[in-house]
Structure 1
Amino acid sequence: MSQAEIEAALKAAFDQCIAANCPLTEVQKQILLQVAQRLSSTAEETANSEGTNPLDELTAQERLALLEFVKEQESLNQPWKIQLLNDWLNNTNSGAVQFIRDRYGLQWLNLVQPSHLAEYFERLSAELKLKVGDRIEVSNGLWEWIQEDGPCSQMWVSCTVIRVEERQENYSSCIIRFDNGIEYEIQGIYDWNRYNWRWPSG
């Protein structure tokens, strides 16, 4: 995160404090800006000296949650780091990415650069691509309404991909065949229905 991005995030937080009728003093603002500047410099030096991707430190689940959060924020034209910083400054839970605050903190967050995210987005894109003949498991959430406390619970069923269609640049669908011969089309296979299929675990 650049110094300008940090200052923009902090200024947005300062404005939120004013809106919440809890304005910070000028001294408090200066202290926060100086601390952020020191953290930014330290993080940049660490990233440059190590040359590693900070996303490597995350578990596979954490990495996927972060990438989905980044994609969602970018689709809303909101800088994802600023959203996290605003959550932290307002002591708001960040949902699926709360682990960043709890386990990794601001210094780790400052290490993450667009190139690090791009590396994993590229890997994820390659891992997600389905081919005819692939065996996957699909959730009954595709054809049933599932609720945590409802009568239908989530089940996973094995099937084979028999066709993949790229209809638009960011839209794909596929047709699967269950072992009993029934075929089913899954639209938005990489988008809104991504949570309803997975690679076989065994």
Structure 2
Amino acid sequence: MSKAEIEAALKAAFDQCNAANCPLTEVQKQILLQVAQRLSSTSGEMVNSEGNPLDELSAEERLALLEFVREQESLNQPWKMQLLNDWLNNTNSGSVQFIRDRYGLQWLNTVEPAHLAEYFERFEDEIKLKAGDRIEVSNGLWEWIQEDGPCSQMWVPCTVISVAERQDDFSSCIIRFDNGTEYEIQGIYDWNRYNWRWLS
């Protein structure tokens, strides 16, 4: 599709939104136009051919983005689409809100799967725990947490006592809370990865 055809198709969609009494803001329209133009490009060239755009992020931002991408992929959802939906609906993107606030759509469009793959290998090494590490764990490990339920998410500091590394999804670790209680976390790098974080 040519640029004119894309703009015409999107204008028709914007008109339908208006007719349905659900008009888009100018920012939302601009985001959709830019994404559609990017997707229609057939050049195949990366926008940022001089290095990895993830290099521009701080270590904390990069880690937050990689965790977000992994979480979305585990849910079989395209991570960029989730961010764009948040932006279009003016919804906070949580730990990756910084992308919208500081980097924007133009930067997001430069991130390619190869850029992520380069950092995922390093990311795997960064999240490995060892005895003596201080982390925080979510009470979601032992309580049912619901967004509007009686139990809200809390983070509790603890120390890693031992880690049992396995090749499958059953790596685990034992932690000790400051009161001396010990707890074993199964799937520490997989299904329970989102229930612990480094102690800041």
TM-score, structure 1 as length reference:
0.62
The 3-state SS of whatever aligns with 1:86 is: helix
* Amino acid corresponding to residue 101 of structure 2 in structure 1: D
Kept in 2: contact 1:173–1:185 (CA 8 A) = yes
In structure 2, what is the equivalent of residue 93 of structure 1? Answer: 91
TM-superposed CA distance for 1:171, in Å, is 3.5
More helix by share: 1
Matched, 1:188 2:191: no
Q: Describe how 1:62-77 pairs up with structure 2 within 5 A.
A: 62-77=61-76
TM-superposed CA distance for 1:139, in Å, is 3.7
Once the two structures are superposed, what CA deviation does each residue of 1:112-148 show, in whole Å capped at 9, x if it has no partner? 01011112221111122234x44333447356789xx
Q: Describe how 1:42-81 pairs up with structure 2 within 5 A.
A: 44=45, 46-48=47-49, 50=50, 52-81=51-80
Mapped partners of 1:154, 1:113: distance in 2: 33
Once the two structures are superposed, what CA deviation does each residue of 1:77-131 show, in whole Å capped at 9, x if it has no partner? 222212222333x333142222212211111011101011112221111122234
* Amino acid corresponding to residue 33 of structure 2 in structure 1: L
Kept in 2: contact 1:163–1:176 (CA 8 A) = no
Mapped partners of 1:63, 1:40: distance in 2: 27
Mapped partners of 1:69, 1:136: distance in 2: 22
Query: Unpaired segments of 5 or more residues in structure 1?
Result: 1-6
Higher relative contact order (CA 8 A, sep 6+): 1
In structure 2, what is the equivalent of residue 135 of structure 1? Answer: 133
Mapped partners of 1:173, 1:94: distance in 2: 32
Kept in 1: contact 2:175–2:184 (CA 8 A) = yes
Query: Unpaired segments of 5 or more residues in structure 2?
Result: 1-5
* Amino acid corresponding to residue 134 of structure 2 in structure 1: I
TM-score, structure 2 as length reference:
0.63
